[in-house]
Amino acid sequence: MAGILYLIPNTLGDDAREGQLSSVLPKDTIERASQLRYWIVENAKTARALLKAVGTQSPLICPIQEMQMSEWRGPGKEQAGKESVNLKAMLQPILDGHDMGLMSEAGLPAIADPGSDVVKMAHQMGITVRALVGPSSLLLALMSSGMNGQSFAFHGYLPVQHNEKLASLKQLEQE
């Protein structure tokens, strides 16, 4: 029987420090994360930091050093043309019957995040995907903005380069 891909939220800042994690992530999310041995992460260092904090709240299934972590930073940051092969290989433990976690560097995996590639591939492979509750910078910004949450659009992050950023803003003005 195949395992499940769990989308494990990460904190948005230094909230992973001991004692603060439970004020950011629900108990069920912390407990699920503590029971996963296989991971696809955007950044192994931040994933280990969160798992260290998780271990103070719920016993880890194994030491962090024994967990299998594969980094996925998105297309273009992996070997060109090998993205789907790499993702299939990374997801193989699920097909072998193991549950796996997907963790972003911050916030929710797959929301303005390369984790969306992993989720898409999991669906294509017939893998069950379960999203768990956690913080989202996008929704927190919307909530605190006073804007109408019934009708809004998120166009992703603006480019870093000044000229590209201006072009993107001008295009958004036209829409």
Q: Is 115 in the same domain as 164?
A: no
Could you report the per-residue pLDDT of 84-98, keeping only the tens digit for each? 558 999 999 999 999
pLDDT at 21 over 70: yes
- Total of domains in the chain: 2
List the domain range (segments joined by +) for residue 83.
4-135
- In angstroms, the Cα distances linking 166 to 157, 160, 172 are 13, 10, 10
Pair (18, 82) in one structural domain: yes
Handedness of CA 65, 121, 131, 136 (dihedral sign): positive
For residues 124 and 145, membership in a common domain is answered with: no
For residues 10 and 4, give the distance between their C-alpha atoms in angstroms, rounded to a whole number. Answer: 18
Question: Is the pLDDT confidence value at 77 over 80?
Answer: no
Contact between 3 and 29 (Cβ < 8 Å): no
Residues 75 and 159 in one domain: no
Q: Please tell me the predicted confidence (pLDDT) of residue 4.
A: 98
Q: Are residues 131 and 165 in the same domain?
A: no
- CATH code at 18? 3.40.1010.10
Max mean pLDDT range (41-50, 71-80, 90-99, 107-116):
90-99
